[in-house]
Structure 1
Amino acid sequence: MTLFTRTGCHLCEDARRVVAQVSADCGEMWREVDVDDDPEDRAEYGDLVPVVLVDDVVHGYHTVEAAALRAALGY
């Protein structure tokens, strides 16, 4: 699972907490990527952060619902 964020984004902070908790509960690995570190990431996801990818497919953006994320992970 990948969480695309950017510095100073309050929605990203909320998403980070949800992703971290769901990942811990489900035993799933995740990584965080700052969209502003790569021009391609910024072009693709910059207006949508936070963005969650599950198996490299966009699961959601702007807000992260714990129950929906668990379902997407198969839990």
Structure 2
Amino acid sequence: MSAERQLTVLSREWCHLCHDLIEALKPLQAEFGFGLQVVDVDADEALEARWNELVPVLLEGEVEICHHFLDEGAVRAHFQRIG
């Protein structure tokens, strides 16, 4: 898997679920070699309006992989689908 592949976590500074999801992603990041961008939804009104109650959300581009908690199976299935 190329380091060019970038996943995004929509997060909040004060959100323990967000911190947990980011931490839980580390082994998968090492395995699949993707970059990780963390975006604070509270800093962007449009993101907050769209994703507010689902945060944390794991995305690749506009594709939602999972939300609230890391779904390792969904991440693996995502990478299998995209090759």
TM-score range, shorter chain: 0.7 to 0.9
Query: How many residue pairs were aligned?
Result: 75
RMSD: 1.6
TM-score, normalization by structure 2: 0.79
Q: Percent identity?
A: 33
TM-score, normalization by structure 1: 0.86
Gaps of 5+ in 1: none
Gaps of 5+ in 2: 1-6
- Counterpart code for 2:11: T
Correspondence 1:1-75 to 2 at 5 A = 1-74=7-80
Pair member with larger Rg = 2
Structure with larger RCO (C-alpha < 8 A, sep 6+)? 1
